Structures are given as C-alpha cells and as structure tokens.
C-alpha cells in the first residue's frame, strides 16, 4: 500500500504481532493477519474495517495533498 505522507503519526498497514480484536466491530484477528494501525490513538482495525479505514485515510490524505498543491 502507498502511504501518502512520511509523517510518522499517519496510520499504516502492518502484520499483527499478537492476536487482538478490531476496535470498531470487535472481530478477533490472529498474529500474522494484516491490520491497519493508527499510532496516535493506538487503534487497530482488522479485516473489513481495516479496508474501510484505509480508504477513508487515503481519501483524506489525497484531498489534503490536492489542497496543498499536489503530492
């Protein structure tokens, strides 16, 4: 996946080191599953919620980049 900025506090995809649950829907995920992580709030989204969160962030980042004069 493409990250739109190199700001260290932007959310990003990673492989889960430990089992856990999605912050939005409570669905469990296993170690090794792909998750979407928000470092500012330490929020983790798994499975379908991760796709939605990633799209939302990408959309906001693209809008901000366009507003600020491009990528």
50 belongs to a structural domain: yes
52 belongs to a structural domain: yes
Q: How far is CA 43 from CA 28, 36, 54, in A?
A: 14, 8, 13
32 belongs to a structural domain: yes
26 belongs to a structural domain: yes
Per-residue pLDDT of the chain (71 residues; tens, 9 = 90+): 454 455 678 999 999 999 999 999 999 999 999 999 999 999 999 988 999 999 999 998 888 888 887 65
Q: What is the pTM of this model?
A: 0.78
2 belongs to a structural domain: no
Question: What three-state secondary structure class fits 20?
Answer: strand
Residue ranges making up the domain that contains 50: 12-67
25 belongs to a structural domain: yes
1 belongs to a structural domain: no
Among candidate residues 1, 11, 4, the one with its CA nearest the CA of residue 53? 11
Q: How many domains does the chain have?
A: 1
**CB burial class (10 A; 0-12, 13-18, 19+) of residue 47?**
middle
């Amino acid at each position: 996946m493409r990250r739109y900025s190199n700001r260290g506090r932007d959310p990003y995809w990673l492989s889960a080191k430990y089992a856990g649950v999605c912050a939005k829907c409570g669905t469990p995920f296993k170690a090794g599953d792909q998750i979407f992580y928000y470092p500012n709030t330490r929020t983790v989204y798994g499975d379908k919620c991760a796709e939605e969160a990633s799209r939302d962030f990408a959309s906001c980042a693209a809008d901000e980049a366009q507003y600020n004069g491009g990528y």
